[in-house]
Structure 1
Amino acid sequence: MHEEAGVFVVTIRGEVDADERDLLQAAWGEVDELRLPATAVDLSAVTFADSTLLGALLEAQDRHHRDGRAFVLTSPLAGEVHSLFTVTNTLAHFTFAASVQQVIDQTNPRA
């Protein structure tokens, strides 16, 4: 996790299941504390995810939207991760960007 040009960047790697629930909650707590205008969640290095990740992302997105902050996932998604979103019919519930840089550029448009 780090802040970059007004965007809080959360990079998630490897396998995500119930064992990582506390780490995800800690990340969202830090995101909420800083209240930056946008959060980019980089999922490109996630190799496996179950409903733990999906639930955490839906919860974080809801918190962001209630506060008027952007919540964007970056792609590409690994096959199994993409399948999780597809099978649960939640892919369309999220905003995706091609990269963290794209989220930064959209959050800080050049005049």
Structure 2
Amino acid sequence: MNQPARAASPYSNYLPWSITLTVLGACLCCLIGSVPGIVAIVYGGKVDGLWAAGDEDGARRASETAKVWCWVGTALVGLSLIGNLVRAFIDASTLVPQAVIDQLQDALRG
């Protein structure tokens, strides 16, 4: 007998978030942010399969685990982005010649 098809999983698989996170992690912080994204992709990929197999608890746990790894990766990518911006400002400030800085200071002193 054919069993009726189960409805779509009520649990999110977080695949769009985890894939975006993986790409941004690879671009912004030398793969440190990509690792949590890859782990989230693995767990997110299990959600629908577990739900279809009737393992509701397993689907819920996989969804929660994917969500946690997405947040971990988002924090790492965010910190990396802030670090990259700080480094860019520091690098840009070293490009200004000392003579220009002296002239600006003299102008401000009046």
TM-score (norm 1): 0.24
Higher percent of residues as strand = 1
- Larger RCO (CA under 8 A, 6+ residues apart): 1
Larger Rg: 2
TM-score (norm 2): 0.24
